[in-house]
Structure 1
Amino acid sequence: MVELRRSNRISAKKEPLDSESAEPIKVKAKTESKVTKPNGKKEVKNEDSANKLAELQIGDDIPDLTLLNQDDEPISLKEVASKNKLVVFFAYPKASTPGCTRQACGYRDNYSELKEHAAVFGLSADAPKSQKSFQTKQALPFDLLSDPKREFIGALGAKKTAVSGVVRSHWIFKNGKLEVKRVQVSPEVSIEEGKKEVLELAKSL
Structure 2
Amino acid sequence: MNRILTIEDDAVTAREIVAELTRNGLDVDWVDNGREGLERAVSGDYDLITLDRMLPELDGLVIVTTLRTMGVATPILMISALSDVDERVRGLRAGGDDYLTKPFATDEMAARVEVLLRRNSGTREPETALRVADLELNLISREASRNGQLLSLLPTEYKLLEFLMRNSGQILSRMMIFEEVWGYHFDPGTNLIDVHIGRLRKKIDPPGLEPLIRTVRGSGYVIAEPC
Output the TM-score relative to the length of structure 1.
Answer: 0.30
Higher helix share: 2
Larger Rg: 1
Output the TM-score relative to the length of structure 2.
Answer: 0.27
